[in-house]
Structure 1
Amino acid sequence: MCFTGLEPFATIFHWDLPQALENDEGFLNETIVDEFVGYANICFAMFGDRVKHWITINEPWSYSVFGYAYGTFPPNRCSKGGNRLTGAFSSTARFSRYLVNRDCEVGDSGTESYRVAHHLILAHSAAVQLYREKYQADHGGQIGISLNTEWMVPYDETSEKDQEAADRALAFMYGWFMEPLNSGTYPSQMVTHVEDRLPKFTEQQSQLVKGSFDFIGLNYYTAAYAADIPCSNDGTKNHSYLRDSCVRLTKVKNGIPIGNKTGSD
């Protein structure tokens, strides 16, 4: 690539976790942070003289949610019945082929996606620290992360509740990762709604995470209407990322799509 004049942007982790690490609980296990840093170190050492833009992780939201809340991406973990869509966080057209009513064999949609995301953030920030301390001065490169999000539009723009729902939905998708990178803490909406199921950063971790990027890659596919829905107060422990935000997303309003259909679903 370099010989042809193309400048590489290298992604260290695009969901291709070795099976040996998955057998040890993968990103559910905090030890994955050290494993990731070790792998990143090899990448920096071998390719850093040619790669000047590093992306630690691609779309941590997709990996955490599809793999551990919906159960439709490897490792296909979710609560039994936990990814059913009635009253769920998302029923977006873009994800319709992934949101299948199916029961996972193992998993917990109310906790595991949050744990995995937490460890992804820690792995990212630890790799950034390594690059900055050991390689950046000599290689002259930059390091960041690629996030994905949708823009959230209040279903009823005159409704204060739907306006809050749009903000909340954005916090549960984009803010989940961007807020820690900016401030070292999770969005207040997530802290309020997820409560003790949301992991906490130690003070040392918070300082490590805060500011751990030279650039942000943003994969933006579409937008969605966000409507407020009642939070479940049935007294059960049937928690799920799908319901925690108390938002219903849709691509259609009064029979009209939110935008013109393109070549991608």
Structure 2
Amino acid sequence: METKDEIISTKLINLTLLFLHVMAVAGAMVMSGGVLLLLLAFTCAAYNDAGELPPISRRSFPKGFIFGTSSSSYQFEGAAAEDKITDKSNGDGACNSYHLYKEDVRIMKEMGMDAYRFSISWSRILPNGSLSGGVNREGINYYNNLINELLSKEVQPFATLFHFDTPQALEDKYKGFLSPNIINDYKDYAEICFKEFGDRVKHWITFNEPWNFCSMGYASGTMAPGRCSSWEKGKCRVGDSGREPYTACHHQLLAHAETVRLYKEKYQFTEEAIRQSPFIRDNNLNRRSAKFMDPLIRGDYPLSMRELVGNRLPEFSKEQSEMVKGAFDFIGLNYYASSYADNDPPSYGHNNSYNTDSHAKITGLRELLLHIKENYGNPTIYITENGVDEVNNKTMRLKESLKDDIRIEYYHKHLLALLSAMRDGANVKGYFAWSLLDNFEWSEGYTVRFGINFVDYDNGMKRYPKNSARWFKKFLRK
């Protein structure tokens, strides 16, 4: 399979609650190494005769539109070690936001950000993963302090309950999301968060990128828990790439639905973020996106998926189907990179795998937003992550590292594409840039930098604004 243009970024694209990778193609379905990338095709970002992009600012968007940045606990705070990282690093230090959160909130405020999407570490709240192991009050105090600091600076908190960090204790006890036991433990953890933080947090997100978590954690084995079949590139010790990803995602769907039901019955917060992904009939995007969309909309997986996956796909009981159906309030979309490829017939080989079951095709962000508008009643959408990375060149001087004009162009074009879709009726209410800071990037470790603010890992995690941070400050000026 040949690529026609180089991929803008190695970062995955995702549709959040229930995460979806999609790949853009110039011709037919395409896949590379289990990572599917989304085409950003927008005519609205045409350059003028002087080679300049059209101007855009906060004032181009409707009054009340939310702009913010995103993060996750493991990538920012510092947490446990993780294997299979490109540079053999781990997130123990991350960018030390656990101790520097006040400075980070100050940076957001000075840039003019309206909101901050962060994740809560399950293990920081419940060190053993379940209520029986006790609650860590110090962890609760940390998040209370962060939330209070945000509100004191008039920055809205958007809290994600799960961002790839399954408690190790539950992996050891019953293999984490491969066991239905995870459903009640997750619900118990979520209820603690609702009780402790719900008086101030009005936007909740249950799972970040379930598709990514299941495919890379259980199909390719390149992320925790690092399970896959022997033929996959992860070279895992244990796993079944053709069965386990479906089991893990099935349990995430059920944990999500149970948590939403709990929330609706007992807490009734303003909004509960549930992420879903649209699908298109008659092409392979149907198979990929409908894995999550169909259960949430119709209460079951699509027939085409059942025919493809067979008995490897779990079944919903009647009660579970009714609980999952309709368990969402808004769509979160994480959008990153573009890829083009020539038409090439897919080769599935002889090994069953979650990745080979899911080739995809789609045309672009604007078209995707409008497709959601036309097919799902124009629900509320938040762009919950959008960003681009650059290689972490350790030999480059700090002054040069802050010149990220490519990132500025990337954000400018994406915001133009978003605005174009909104002008055609897409119901988008907010946009979160990934990321506020350079951070630990999962399988890429510290080999890439996504931040609009530079972090000096060798000098006390000191923060420096990049050109893109200055661009956002000007863009967000009221």
TM-score, structure 1 normalization: 0.73
Residue 109 to residue 56, structure 1, CA distance change in 2 (3 Å): same
Is 1:144 the counterpart of 2:273 in the alignment?
yes
Unaligned runs of 5+ residues in structure 1 are 84-100, 153-162, 250-261
Instruction: Tell me by how many angstroms 1:144 deviates.
Output: 2.2
Query: CA distance change for structure 1 residues 45 and 244 in 2, over 3 Å: closer, same or farther?
Result: same
Name the structure 2 match of 1:229. Answer: 346
Deviation at 1:146, TM superposition (A): 3.7
Count of residues in Structure 1 that have an aligned counterpart in Structure 2: 215
Cα distance in 2 for partners of 1:17, 1:199 equals 21
What is the aligned partner in structure 2 of residue 243 from structure 1? Answer: 356
Q: CA deviation at 1:148?
A: 7.1
Larger fraction in strand: 1
1:17 paired with 2:130, answer no
**Residue 26 of structure 1 is aligned with which of 173, 176, 180?**
176
CA distance in structure 1 between the aligned counterparts of 2:151 and 2:193, rounded to whole angstroms: 17
| Residues 228 and 194 of structure 1, relative CA distance in 2, 3 Å threshold | farther
1:123 correspondence with 2:255: yes
Question: Kindly tell me: are residues 25 and 102 of structure 1, through their superposed partners in 2, closer, same or farther at Cα, counting changes over 3 Å?
Answer: closer
Q: Which of the two has higher C-alpha Rg?
A: 2
In the TM superposition, 1:63-102 aligns within 5 A as 63-81=213-231, 83=232, 101-102=233-234
Which of 6-15 and 185-194 deviates more? 185-194
The runs of at least 4 consecutive aligned structure 1 residues that moved more than 6 Å come to none
The CA distance in 1 between the partners of 2:344 and 2:267, in whole Å, is 46
8 Å CA contact retained: 1:60, 1:120: yes
Task: Give the CA deviation at 1:51.
Answer: 0.6
Q: Deviations over 1:124-144 (max 9, x none)?
A: 0000000000000xxx42112
Provide the C-alpha distance between the structure 1 equivalents of 2:338 and 2:313, rounded to a whole number of angstroms. Answer: 26
Asked whether the 8 Å contact 2:205–2:274 carries over to 1, the reply is: yes
SS in 2 for 1:243: coil
Structure number with greater CO (CA < 8 Å, separation at least 6) is: 2
For residues 151 and 311 of structure 2, the distance between their equivalents in structure 1, rounded to whole angstroms, comes to: 48
Which residue does 1:110 correspond to in 2?
242
After superposition, the Cα gap between the structure-2 partners of 1:44 and 1:180, relative to the gap in structure 1 and judged at 3 Å, is: same
Q: Does 1:6 align with 2:155?
A: yes
1:201 Cα deviation after fit:
0.6
**Correspondences of 1:153-172 after superposition (within 5 Å):** 164=282, 167-168=283-284, 170-172=285-287
Question: Counterpart of 2:215 in structure 1: which amino acid?
Answer: V
Q: 1:212 pairs with 316, 319, 327, which one?
A: 327
Per-residue deviation, 1:188: 2.6
Q: Tell me the distance in 2 between the aligned counterparts of 1:190 and 1:45.
A: 38
Partner of 1:89: none
| Matched residue, 2:305 | 190
Identity of paired residues, percent? 46
Name the CA shift for 1:132/1:228 in 2 (closer, same or farther; >3 Å).
farther
Change in Cα spacing, 1:105 to 1:148, as seen in structure 2 (3 Å) is farther
Question: Is residue 2:179 matched to residue 1:179?
Answer: no
Task: Compute the displacement of 1:189 (Å).
Answer: 2.3
Structure 1 residue 231: Cα displacement: 5.3
What is the distance in 1 between the residues matched to 2:177 and 2:183? Answer: 8
Q: Secondary structure at the match of 2:335?
A: strand
Alpha-carbon distance, 1:104 to partner: 0.9
RMSD: 2.7
TM-score (norm 2): 0.42
Query: Take 1:6 and 1:114, find their aligned partners in 2: how far apart are those partners?
Result: 37
Q: Residues of 1 paired with 2:307 and 2:250: CA distance? A: 17
AA of the residue aligned to 1:75: P
8 Å Cα contact 1:144/1:212 also seen in 2: no
Helix, strand or coil for the counterpart of 1:20? helix
Work out whether residues 194 and 244 of structure 1, in 8 Å CA contact, stay in contact via their aligned partners in 2: yes
Distance 1:56 1:20 in 2: 20
The answer on 1:53 being equivalent to 2:169 is no
